[in-house]
Structure 1
Amino acid sequence: MLPDSARELKHRLSRRLAEGPPGVVARSNGATATWSGVALGLTPIGPEQVHLAVRVIGPADAAVVLAGLGEAALAEVDVRAIGVVRALGSPTPGSPTPGSPTPGSPTLEELRRRTRPLRPGLSIGHERVTAGTLGGFVRRPGVDGLLALSNNHVLAASDAGAVGDPVLQPGVADGGVGTDRVGVLAGAVRFEDRPGNQVDAAVALLDPGVVADPTGYPGGALLPTVAAPDTVDPEELVEKVGRTTGHTRGRVTAVEVDGVGVQYDRGVFTFDDQIEVEGLTGAFSAGGDSGSLIWRSADRAPLGLLFAGSELGGSAGGGVTFANPLATVLRRLGVEWAAG
């Protein structure tokens, strides 16, 4: 169906879910808001053609969500049971590198050790966090020097950190201590208890004398122009480099995904307008890859900031990964992409 028709169907189902249809899993994040347990988005299938993406915790929920839809509408729906989606800020011990990394890509050992100059993909984190991934570098108008980009739950300890707190490279889980400080927390987008979070993002201002290489991605520098999710082609191929699974390849399986409930230590927070990716030959990401920058393989345009994932739902058996559109991340943080 055409994207606008899919968006209309998505809106209708969203309204019905908001009214609490019986049988659909409901989760609370500890505040007044509840999560339906269902996420809805658009799956690109061809030029100007999409299916409605329906993501549920378990197969039983799908029947409730799709009840009442006509046969024509059901033929235009892409349904997946993806299980629980979790923030990927806790490293998964012993995870192998899936996929086919580019020759010369950093090894997992290299990504988890103390490394100067800083480069994308390295272990990093707030002093109260295990470890996540350094996604890339940005600039803030009026501020000298580069800032490291990652997630709120990596650099700001899920809103528990304060501006000025130390940020370590490597992260604590990889042996980081006070002397491994590379900068300080300089800003984060706080989580909202109500549905509709857009990003899980934060930045750290690098200390004077800490050198960084913004071009240090596998294969070289990324484009200075950030890609918009609405320009994603069917099954767009993408890549990332992260602390736990290294350099992996995947494909975009849905965009404009609303209602993604993500499990954090504090509870479930719901995100809208997210990008979904699956690995080509297994998992695209794992715990500890939070904060990785995702880019398009075709033109090396930066696309999204990885923050969460599941263990189920990927066609290659490796679950699905969710990312914030990078354009939204930069706007919410008030920063500019630094490609080189």
Structure 2
Amino acid sequence: MLIDSARELKARLTARLAEGFPLVTASDLGGRLWTRPAIGLAPVSPGRARLAIRVAAEADARVLLSGLEDAVRAEVDVRVTGPILPQPARSPAQLQRRTRPLVPGLSVAHPAVSAGTLGGFVRLGGRLAVLSNNHVLAAGGAGTVGDAVLQPGPADGGTPADRVATLAAAVRLTDRANRVDAAAATVDDGVDADPGDVPGGPLGATVPDGVDLEPDEEVEKVGRTTGHTRGRITAVEVDGVAVQYDDGVHLFDDQIEIEGLSGAFSAGGDSGSVIWRSSDRAPLALLFAGSTRGGSTGAGLTFANPLSTVLAALGAEWVAS
């Protein structure tokens, strides 16, 4: 269907689901998984899209589909993801050693966090800063401005002697719909940093204002755990993405969904990676969560915040090589 029609259908179905699934804040869940579907737009061809519906369990999919009219069912892409989780470190992998100068893709973290990924560099208050997630640099809100940031992260052997940056800004995760999971830390004096060619190297240093709905748009990232991977955008403007953090479930609206071209696009420890467009290397999004199920290969789906939204929320400017 046409994109405007898909957006209209998304709004109608979202309103309908809200009647059957009253909004529940993370503090009300008591650790239980959120089961309300996430809804976005899946590109089909230029100017056309299907409705992307993501559910946590098979039972949710059956209930949802049984309540849809045949004409509507023909225009939806329903996938079962299982739980969607932030991507903290889980196992040793590439990019986990102590490295100077700092470059995108390295292991980095708050001292109270295992490890995540240094996504790229921004300018914050006139100073160079590393960009990653709140749950990587600010311990999901437990950290405070002025805290240390280590490279590598503690899970990869980082100690206080490996301090490279100071937490300067973090967007708080709320019990309502969030837009970003983001934080930045200013690089400490005497620590060398090199933005490098990716993400957002000399071929494409401008951050697009939003992400166009193009079918099979190919993207790439470098992450602490899986290194360099390639994928494609499978849905945009996804609302109601439920992510299970240590303190409960947090919801996210207007997210980007990505699947790997061969296998998983991301894994635990890749949180904070900046995703760029393959065609021109333009930096598009900040990776923050993923599932182990779903996608055409069954290897899971990755979710990311639009990078333009992240920069606006932090009051930061992207720094290219």
Instruction: Give me the TM-score of the superposition, normalised by structure 1.
Output: 0.89
The answer on 1:207 being equivalent to 2:188 is yes
- The C-alpha deviation readout for 1:54-97, integer Å capped at 9, x for no partner, is 000122212322344322221111110011000001x22256xx
Secondary structure, counterpart of 1:146 in structure 2: strand
Whether the aligned pair in 2 keeps the contact of 1:117 and 1:210 (CA below 8 Å) is yes
Tell me the CA shift for residue 290 of structure 1: 0.2
Partner of 1:179: 161
Deviation at 1:190, TM superposition (A): 0.0
Change (3 A) 1:235 1:88: same
Corresponding residue number in structure 1 for 2:26: 29
2:109 maps to which of 125, 129, 132? 125
Distance 1:11 1:242, change over 3 A: same
Aligned residues: CA RMSD:
2.0
Number of residue-to-residue matches in the alignment: 319
In 2, are the aligned partners of 1:235 and 1:252 still within 8 Å (CA)?
A: yes
- The equivalent position to 2:220 in structure 1, one of 239, 245, 269, is 239
Counterpart residue number, 1:99: none
Query: Which one is further off, 12-21 or 214-223?
Result: 214-223
2:91 to 79, 88, 93: 93
How much does 1:27 deviate?
A: 7.0
Amino acid in the other structure paired with 1:29: A
State the partner residue of 2:149: 167
- Structure 1 residues 58 and 32, CA, compared in 2 at 3 Å: closer, same or farther? closer
1:139 to 120, 123, 134: 123
Q: Secondary structure at the match of 2:127?
A: coil
- Measure the CA separation in 1 of the matches of 2:60 and 2:19: 15
Which residue pairs with 2:65 in the alignment?
66
Aligned to 1:104: none
Write the distance in 2 (CA, Å) between the matches of 1:3 and 1:296: 21
Q: Could you state the TM-score of these two structures normalised by the residue count of structure 2?
A: 0.94
Cα distance change of structure 1 residues 245 and 222 upon mapping to structure 2, 3 Å threshold:
farther
The alpha carbon displacement at 1:32 in A equals: 8.0
Asked whether 1:255 is paired with 2:236, we answer: yes
Shift of 1:229: 4.1
* Secondary structure of the corresponding residue to residue 205 of structure 1: strand
Q: Distance in 2 between matches of 1:222 and 1:193?
A: 39
Whole-Å separation in 1 of the counterparts to 2:189 and 2:211: 38
Segments of structure 2 that go 5 or more residues without pairing to the other structure are: none
Question: 2:29 and 2:287 mapped to 1: Cα distance?
Answer: 27
Read off the aligned partner of 2:82 and give its amino acid letter.
G
Kindly, what percent of the aligned residue pairs are identical? 63
Aligned partners of 1:120 and 1:216 also within 8 Å: no
Q: Which runs of 4+ in 1 moved over 4 A?
A: 32-36, 218-222
> Which runs of 5 or more residues in structure 1 are unaligned?
96-107
Residues 17 and 36 of structure 1 are in contact (CA less than 8 Å); yes or no, is this contact kept in structure 2?
no
